[in-house]
Amino acid sequence: MKLSSEQVRQFEELGYLLLPDLFSPAEMAILNAEVPKILTQQRTEVIREKGSDAPRSAFYVQTWNDVFERLARHPRLVEPGIQLLGSDKLYMHQFKINAKAAFDGAVWQWHQDYATWYEDDQMPSPQAMNIALFLAEANEFNGPLMFIPKSHRGGRLQAGHDVTTTSYPLWTTDSETITRLVAEGGIVAPKGPPGSALLFHGNLVHASGSNLTPWSRWIVYLSLNRCDNAIRRFKRPTWIANHDFTPIEMRPDDCLISYARQARGAAE
């Protein structure tokens, strides 16, 4: 899948791009059938909310779930990364499902992902990005992602290490800086149905509020990095910050549908 010149311009200008209905309802049904089984597993890679059994994130899912292994190598997600990052050799720095569970989903503080990739992993430069696929609807009520448009243009900002607010430590941006950035660029909260995708720069400042609704907000994230920009520090385990820099080999575009077809055939 190739982005248009206008889509590339928007990404470079604003720091993000929304692609509505990138995956079909049939493909989303295949993915979403797996999510409850993933989030209920008791394993190290599934992190719970602070003081709760509600799931916060499930990491490295592509290595322990066959369906999401296919999604991690899907051309509709990987090819835009190749185009925007300017390299056909990308590896998966991080792969996770953020659950934002109904009633219990806690905040994600204001931050740049590259701040954490730099501080914790010594990623040399911000030649990495996120591709977020909505597994469930993201609406104005269930803690949607909030972006500060154009905030990626200022490069990596000073960050403080927040290890207390939530169950997942994060290098966060202070309130004074957020106030200044919002005065310059405002805040947007891209929303959409399952199957919509958000592409955003590693330096784009973003956050999300808590989820007080009965609707969980499931999003799967591919954090793609150039192989020649691989991390230098291995403080975090590979299931959080991948130590394997093997380039992603894409699967066919119909890999989810063909997998479901094969699974049905094996069951009959």
User: Cα dist. 204→79, 105, 115, 154 in Å?
Assistant: 20, 22, 10, 9
Question: What is the total count of domains within the chain?
Answer: 1
CATH number at residue 233: 2.60.120.620
Round to whole Å and give the CA distance between 92 and 103. 31
Structure confidence at residue 267 (pLDDT)? 63
- Owning domain of residue 83: 5-267
> Angle between the 255-267 and 25-32 helix axes, to the nearest 10 degrees?
60
Closest alpha carbon to 13 in 5, 1, 23: 5
Radius of gyration of the chain (CA): 18
Closest CA to 172 of 160, 182, 181: 160
CA distances from residue 118 to 13, 130, 158, 160, 219 in whole angstroms, order as listed: 23, 15, 11, 13, 23
Nearest partner of 225 among 93, 77, 50, 78, judged by Cα: 93
- Say which residues have a Cβ less than 8 Å from residue 150's Cβ, sequence separation at least 6: 13, 14, 15, 184, 185
Show pLDDT as tens, one digit a residue, over the chain (268 residues).
Answer: 899 999 999 999 999 999 999 999 999 999 999 999 999 999 999 999 988 889 999 999 999 999 999 999 999 999 999 999 999 999 999 999 999 889 999 888 999 999 999 999 999 999 999 999 999 999 999 999 999 999 999 999 999 998 888 888 899 999 999 999 999 999 999 999 999 999 999 999 999 999 999 999 999 999 999 999 999 999 999 999 999 999 999 999 999 999 999 887 776 5
User: What pLDDT sits at residue 268?
Assistant: 55
Predicted local confidence at residue 71, as pLDDT: 98
Q: Give the 3-state DSSP-derived string for 114-182, with helices as H, strands as E and coil as C.
A: HHHHHHHHCCCCCCEEEEEEECCCECCCCCCEEECCCHHHHCCCCCEEECCCCCCCEEECCHHHHHHHH
